[in-house]
Amino acid sequence: MNQGFKINFQPLYRVAQFLALTMLILIPLQIVIYVIAPPPDTVKGFFELYQQNPFLGLLSLDFLYLFNNMIIVIIYLALFVLLYREKPVIVLLALILGLIGIACYYPSNPAFEMLTLSNQYFQALPEQQTIYLAAGEALMAGYTGTTFDVYYVLSTICLLLFAYALIKSHKFKKSVGLWGLASGFFMIVPSSAGVLGMIFSLLSLIPWVVFIALLMINFRKFAADTSF
């Protein structure tokens, strides 16, 4: 490899900085939506919500989370570039597992499929509506099923690996990695695991927000530093 060749990753760090800020805005927005308008308990309830307010229906099925995961890809890519020389194997494994996990998430999210079924449900004859209710039940089972659990477990491992690499890195303060480690600890229990999973999922958001805020500050520093 030509040692004189150097790739300028500053634009990547700058993009990661602004995307981290975007995530810090989206997270409380998601919480506010959940508190003000909790998602329905039944498939029929979702169908009715989609008819009353299609956008709120999408939001109730984690529409914003689709964007969150795209942001995470860029943030983890920036971390990979920054940490590769210090912990190449760890961050490579972290990035691969994280990308596989995120790729698993998108098929598990039924936001737009439920919108389509909702329209078909209310256009169908009464005796045909049970077909669309059954289809909706199948989608909701997959929403927190195997694919989602794979996404959650791989994302947890990915975060723990990146957190460890950050703790060992000379480019970051150890506190950055420790906050990531704390968030990963609470993610050990998948959010689909009943009440306990939901509690752990909510608790993981506290250190996660601090973790992302610290990363945003560091990305800003690296974007301005030509030595990186």
Q: Per residue in 37-83, pLDDT tens? A: 889 989 999 999 999 999 999 999 999 999 999 999 999 999 999 99
**113-141 pLDDT per residue, tens:** 999 999 999 999 988 999 999 999 999 98
- Are 83 and 95 within 8 A, CB to CB? no
pTM (predicted TM-score): 0.89
**What integer is the mean pLDDT of 193-201?**
83
Share of the chain above pLDDT 70, in %: 96
Give me the pLDDT at residue 101, please. 94
* 126, burial (CB in 10 Å: exposed 0-12, middle 13-18, buried 19+): exposed
Give me the pLDDT at residue 15, please. 96
**What integer is the mean pLDDT of 170-188?**
94
Q: Residue 214 pLDDT > 90, yes or no?
A: yes
d(CA 183, CA 206): 7
* Dihedral, CA of residue 70, residue 191, residue 38 and residue 71, to nearest 10: -10
- Are 116 and 190 within 8 A, CB to CB? no
Least confident piece of the model among 20-29, 86-95, 218-227: 218-227
